[in-house]
Chain A
Amino acid sequence: MNSVLQKVSILGSSARYDICTSSSATISHRQCYRQYSSKKGFLGASLPAGCCHVYSADGRCVSLFKVLLTNSCSNDCFYCQNATSCQARSKKAAFTPAELANTFIQYYLRNYVEGLFLSSGITGDPGIVMGDMIETARLLREKYQFAGYIHMKVLPGSSLSDVRALAEYADRISLNMEAPSRVHLAEISSTKDFNSDLMTRLMWMHGVDSNRALPAGMTTQVIVGGNAATDHEILQNTCRMYSAFKLKRVYYSAFYPVKGSPLEHVDPAPLLREHRLYQADWLLRCYKFDKKDVLPPKGTNLPLDIDPKTSLAMRQFTSRFPVEVNDASLDELLHVPGIGPRSARRIIALRKKGMKIEKEASLRALGVVMKRALPFISINSARHARLDEWARHNKIEAHVQ
């Protein structure tokens, strides 16, 4: 029998490949867990306090108590350390709902964590595991009167009633797609079916979410590398997910071979590739760039030596740049590397007040990253840097067209 200490260690370790940063969860101060947060005397609230990250001294983020309910699993995903085919499977452990809820509340009361992220392996009937996950959430909400942030995974093969019940208690639910298509999923899992196990559940989750049941929406996660999927396919799938299912986020997880798994000898995907995908995703989601500008050519990956926004700016240099900061529209400003939505809005707001930008220092004070923006802008028709010199200095002259 494992102690709570052992369970926390084993099941925390098993959950570490699930990505669940909650930065996009705090969407509005009014949309916290509506059923509970308005009641007096409830323990905590995700939004008035802010579902913030806790960064440790070495940069690690430990804001959510991220564990599996159990690491026993009958699925055979080649990338996973809990898969049946993995020869180096970790020791088996499982929380009971009461045990997990009590452990979490102890962490929360001591201000160690901000919320709960709960996933699980699937032993036999997914309905039984989902039932335990729902019970954990119910205990937290009803017994411990916890009104903070709860993120829960929907398990492949779960029923519609379970998805609905989970959404009753959770702030955010998610389902790992793992691959952008059926063909690529088959390369990394022999037991999951892309259409019936994943897409059908995503449709159900979307149905639940569209009734405004989920304050922090729904998300998914895709593995980068380990199969033949290119960045083009991954980003195309991302665009489809954002438009069809209104996902809050798509997370990308660089493949890392687990010892003893069938993919043990496959090369790990570079973290830089994952980073470039997040940058491209950001351009699609927050900058609202056109997908045909952001996606790399068919069958290729994003370049690793340059970020997608700078790459796009260099491709479109002759048609779009330099941008005059005192005349440009919001969209034109947003296309300049080093100018984000916040600094672009500040520039526009200043212009509306009748003020003009006269010098570089003013732009810097508004939050513009000048070392990146200089070759792409002019201030009162004066340019301060040449693109070819700037590119040579940064060793990216190969991208100048």
Chain B
Amino acid sequence: MKAIEKVISHARRHQDMLRFPASRVERMAAGCKTIDELRLKCPDLLKKARAVEIEAYKIKGYMRLVPFKTLLAGTYKSRHVISDLVGLHFKKRYPACSVITWNEARRDGCVSVPERSPHIAGIRDLIESLPFEGGFASDVLIRGGLYLFQLPPTTSFADEFLHRVIELLFPGDPAVAAYVHDKREFEAQWAAFYDTQVIESRVNYKRAIALMGKRQLLDQVGAGSIEAQRVLKKVPKGCKTLLDF
């Protein structure tokens, strides 16, 4: 039953399901006692739950954070309601830091603050009291040490909100400004490392073959091989090749 509850909870977060009342998902899953029954009776529900899970997983990996002393901040884009999933991930990953994440597509954010932090008592009041041009930030809910919030539609997260929070947390600290300047240098360093890792594409063999240059492909697998013919689009549509195995 726990697995079914997890599927239902994830499916509800899917952008298509947000239009319907929450009970609709339960009605779809009604009568399914095991996850395999659910898989057979409502494959769509499972697909939606899986899509949300995969999206959250990718964002956890792709998202880049900018450190301002002990505060980390980052933005992402998702049409699903996953701000608490992403927030919880980073709360566990960086238990000693405060983390602010912001979903640009849905305009909702999540703040996690470490236990015993001097910021914990006032962080909610701090965010709620910040006046912006379009109004005040509003809280959505507080769950498991996470503070979920939304901003007025006219307020910019990076230029206005984050700037104000940093100013309040670290007033007049030159080290914080230095972090922002370091960002460009850091990205150059990352690019230098990233370009050295090309050979790792072999982990995904199909992808590597598909991305390989034509000459290299012919050297590797031979011009007459079915893989080469497939990639060079000489195999009729629908015909199965070794890449399907």
Partners in one complex: yes
Residue interface mask B87-123, A partner, CB < 8 A = 1: 0011011111100000000000000001100000000
Residue interface mask B56-92, A partner, CB < 8 A = 1: 0110111111110000101000000000000001101
Tell whether A244 is near chain B: CB-to-CB under 8 Å: no
Contact size range, B: 35 or more
Residue interface mask A358-396, B partner, CB < 8 A = 1: 000010011000011000000000000000000001110
Tell whether A297 is near chain B: CB-to-CB under 8 Å: no
A58 in contact with B211 given A106-B186, A365-B43 (CB within 8 Å): yes
Which partner residue on chain A sits nearest B199 by CB separation? A16
**22 A–B contacts from the bound complex (CB under 8 Å):** A9-B195, A12-B197, A54-B62, A55-B61, A60-B198, A60-B201, A61-B201, A62-B200, A109-B65, A111-B64, A268-B219, A270-B220, A275-B205, A306-B245, A307-B242, A346-B39, A365-B39, A365-B43, A366-B39, A371-B244, A372-B244, A393-B239
Tell whether A5 is near chain B: CB-to-CB under 8 Å: yes
Of the candidates A9, A270, A395, the one whose C-beta lies within 8 Å of that of B226 is A395
Residues of B within 8 A of A8 (CB): 189, 192-193
Stretch among A44-52, A171-179, A325-333 lining the B interface? A44-52
A111 & B188 in contact (Cβ 8 Å cutoff): no
A186 to chain B, nearest CB (A): 26
Chain A facing B: main interface SS: loop
How far apart sit A333 and B142, CA to CA, in the bound complex (Å)?
47
Give the interface of B toward A (CB within 8 A).
33-34, 36-37, 39-40, 43, 57-58, 60-67, 72, 74, 89-90, 92-97, 114-115, 185-186, 188-190, 192-205, 207-209, 211, 219-221, 226-227, 239-242, 244-245
Residues of A within 8 A of B64 (CB): 110-112
Q: Which of A44-96 contact B (CB under 8 A)?
A: 44-45, 48-50, 52-56, 58-63, 65-67
A5 & B197 in contact (Cβ 8 Å cutoff): no
Q: Which of A255-270 contact B (CB under 8 A)?
A: 268, 270
Give the interface of A toward B (CB within 8 A).
4-6, 8-9, 12-13, 15-17, 21, 40-45, 48-50, 52-56, 58-63, 65-67, 106-107, 109-112, 114, 145, 254, 268, 270-272, 274-275, 305-307, 310, 337, 346, 349-350, 353, 355, 362, 365-366, 371-372, 393-395
How far apart sit A188 and B36, CA to CA, in the bound complex (Å)?
51
A9 & B193 in contact (Cβ 8 Å cutoff): yes
Supplied contacts A12-B193, A254-B202, 4 more A-B pairs, CB within 8 Å: A16-B198, A61-B204, A114-B61, A272-B227
Which partner residue on chain B sits nearest A105 by CB separation? B67
A60 in contact with B92 given A54-B61, A395-B226 (CB within 8 Å): no
Residues of A within 8 A of B62 (CB): 54
How far apart sit A50 and B192, CA to CA, in the bound complex (Å)?
26
Task: Count chain B CB atoms within 10 A of each CB in A48, A110, A254, A353 and give the residue with the most.
Answer: A110
B203 & A61 in contact (Cβ 8 Å cutoff): yes
Of the candidates A12, A106, A337, the one whose C-beta lies within 8 Å of that of B192 is A12
Which partner residue on chain B sits nearest A17 by CB separation? B199
Task: Count chain B CB atoms within 10 A of each CB in A5, A310, A349 and give the residue with the most.
Answer: A5
A9 & B196 in contact (Cβ 8 Å cutoff): yes
How far apart sit A349 and B39, CA to CA, in the bound complex (Å)?
12
A276 to chain B, nearest CB (A): 10
Residues of A within 8 A of B60 (CB): 49-50, 52
